[in-house]
Structure 1
Amino acid sequence: MIKFSLEVKLKAVQMYLAGIGSQTVARRLGIKGHMSVQTWVARYQKYGVQGLELRSPKYDYDGDFKLKVLNWKKQHKASYPQTALQFDISNPGTIANWQRKIRECGIEALFTRRGRATHMTTNHNH
């Protein structure tokens, strides 16, 4: 996934708000999909410039939060971008991944941790 600078995102938002369509903005700025422009505009309108900033380090959401997000999405019949905006999740694909995990592996998959298993990181030198 290509990460765009704050300047590019802000330029895209300004162009869109000036009345240029999202597909035209995407094409002019070399952005592959116009949905990115629409997502940036929605985040800008809700959170201001901070909504466009790259986050670091990556958030590590717990299982309860993931379940809450997915339940809200279902209850409100919301799209992934709408749900991401509601919960300040910068990438709607993150929610789609959680949905896929449930479908393929069950709810328990939302509660597993990324990276090494805990037995691999335990300090045995005490």
Structure 2
Amino acid sequence: MTKYKSELKAQIVHEYLSTSQSTNDLSKKYQINGRRIAEWVQGYQLRGINALEKRRHKRIFTADFKLNVIDYYQTHEDSMAEVAARFNILTAQVSRWRSQFERDGIAALKPHPKGRPSKVKHTKKQARQLA
């Protein structure tokens, strides 16, 4: 379950854009962090109303996408938060991908297998032959 419904987000963003209230005023009124409200407004301005909707599935990012994000961050004068908002990702992801790329190169951006490696080294066919 999401913490804030998209209707509430849209209402707060609309209120911010249509009145002269600051994010601090809205933060006090709705008991929501002002930085979060600013993120909603920025996402709305960059991507429209879809930015306020809940994601329905886990996203998997390719190494090319990660490299494009890093390249955009390094070639433009946008902050990490602005780059994250533009690509609809978390600011921490931009930071982590950049540091991994600087430390280990492109190999660090490629997907890695999840979970514990198997202790058994032979295939099913080999196991049948052994039995």
Aligned residues: CA RMSD:
2.4
Determine the C-alpha separation between the residues in 2 that align with 1:114 and 1:78: 33
Q: Quick one: structure 1 residues 125 and 16, their matched pair in 2 at CA, closer, same or farther if it must change by over 3 Å?
A: farther
Aligned to 1:79: 79
Residue 108 (structure 2) pairs with residue 109 (structure 1): yes
**1:59 CA displacement:** 1.1
Determine the C-alpha separation between the residues in 1 that align with 2:124 and 2:23: 57
Determine the C-alpha separation between the residues in 2 that align with 1:72 and 1:116: 32
**Runs (4+) off by over 3 Å:** none
What code does the residue aligned with 1:91 have? L
Matches within 5 A, 1:2-81: 3-17=3-17, 18-32=19-33, 34-81=34-81
TM-score (norm 1): 0.76
**1:40 CA displacement:** 1.0
Highest CA radius of gyration, 1 or 2? 2
Runs of 5+ in structure 1 lacking a partner?
A: none
Aligned to 2:129: none
Q: Quick one: structure 1 residues 91 and 5, their matched pair in 2 at CA, closer, same or farther if it must change by over 3 Å?
A: farther
Determine the C-alpha separation between the residues in 1 that align with 2:93 and 2:4: 18
**1:90 CA displacement:** 4.1
Contact 2:43–2:86 at 8 Å: present in 1 too?
Answer: no
Q: Matched residue pairs, number?
A: 118
Determine helix, strand or coil for the equivalent of 1:47.
helix
TM-score (norm 2): 0.73
Determine the C-alpha separation between the residues in 1 that align with 2:84 and 2:44: 13
What code does the residue aligned with 2:80 have? Y
Runs of 5+ in structure 2 lacking a partner?
A: 126-131
**1:65 CA displacement:** 0.9
Determine helix, strand or coil for the equivalent of 2:69.
helix
